[in-house]
Structure formats: C-alpha cells, structure tokens
Amino acid sequence: MIKLVIFDLDGTLIDSLGDLTNAVEYALAENGYPPNPRDSYRYLVGNGALKLIERALPKGASEEEIKRVHKAFSERYREHCLELTKPYPGIEDMLRRLNESGIKLAVASNKPDEFSKQIVTALFGDDKFDTVHGKREGVPTKPSPDIIYSIMDELGVSAEETVLVGDSDVDVETAQGAGLKCIGCAWGFRGTDELRRAGADKIALNSDELTDIILEAAE
C-alpha cells in the first residue's frame, strides 16, 4: 500500500521551462556566448543547474567558465524564477485530493534547494507537502537515489510504501536505483516515448489519471 508519493518538480508539478531558458540565455549573453534554440532546453534540463549550464555552453567549456556562467544564471534566476512558471493543469486539485486521502507528499528536485523551496511555497503554499528536498551540498543529484533515501528516512516510510512521480528518464532511473515504482507524466518536458524506453511502471496522460493511479495503489 502506498503511503508516500515523491514528486519531481520541474516538468512534473510545474512548467518552469520559460524561466529556466530565459535565465540561462541571459547568463550566456552576459558572458559572450551564443544563444541556443529555445526548444532545446527541454533536453538540457533534468540533471541540476551546473549540468544545465555545461550543456548550454559550447562543448569543451572549462570548469571555470561553467562556474562563471552558473553564477550569472543563479543570480538572474533567483529574481525571475516565478515570472512564467506555473503549475500544470489540474495539479493543485490533485494535491488537494491526495492531501485529503492522508497520503504523505514530498518533492525531490535537482533544482537547488533554495529555489525548490521558494517556488513550491509560492505556487502551492507551505501545507501541501510534508517535505521539499532540492539539490543540497554534499548530496548527489538524481539519478543517485540518495535524495530519495533521505526523504523516506525523514518521513519514516519504506520503499515498498513509496512511489516516485516524474517526467524523464532521470526520474525512472532514480526510482529504480532506490527500489521504487515510478509513474511517468506524459505532459512533462520529455514525453511518453522517453518514459516508456526508460521503463516507467505506469504513465499518466493527465493529472486526473495520475491521481486515480495513486489512490488505487493506496487502497
């Protein structure tokens, strides 16, 4: 029986691609680098901010260059991370229904912890999730399962009682590494084909379908 649902954030609960894209493009321009096609960013995100910057820069960029552009990105994103970002359709109602069912809810994101908490609180309030974990110092990003272990330990729930919900192969691999089932979100950044190839246990086409899958597993 499922007692805990751990959600990815970007591409799962929220459509944040516009603000992420704008902040990276600003940082690139400020440091003299060429722009990337905007649609390419749905494939650049997913493994944390440093990896996003590395992928956005021309191949062969040095560690020093990556850190410099990352700093400019972080400063820009901190001030502009909620201009275009919004929950996907039906997500707020889904969270309400899951809260009413008594299931514990958590967020596990590769977005820096500061930004993860800021965005979740701004868009959903501070009472929807039992805990929110973003990228923290010393904790590897997904697909390492460490962030999942820390959430389960904090909330006192076993892997058999937990499911991970995400939109990419990174989330599926994370779930598999932690011994969890994974539900894929077809509406996210990557789409159904990637989720199916990665081995998602189930794929929800919309938030209502996702809610039904979770509630059925919680019975």
Q: CA 63 from chain center: how many Å?
A: 25
* Candidates 8, 15, 19, 169; catalytic one: 8
What SS3 state is found at 57?
Answer: coil
One-character DSSP codes across 102-134: T-EEEEEEEEEHHHHHHHHHHHH-SSS-SEEEE
Q: CB of 82 within 8 A of CB of 122?
A: yes
Nearest residue to 214 (alpha-carbon basis) of 105, 82, 61, 72: 105
CB atoms under 10 Å from CB of 15, counted, come to 19
Q: CB of 176 within 8 A of CB of 170?
A: no
Task: Enumerate the β-bridge partners of residue 183.
Answer: 165, 202
Determine whether 8 is an active site residue: yes
Six token digits for residue 189: 């950044």
Separation between Cα atoms, residue 99 and residue 102, nearest integer Å: 5
Residue in the block written with tokens 């944040």: 16
Six token digits for residue 154: 């904090």
Which residues are known catalytic residues? 8
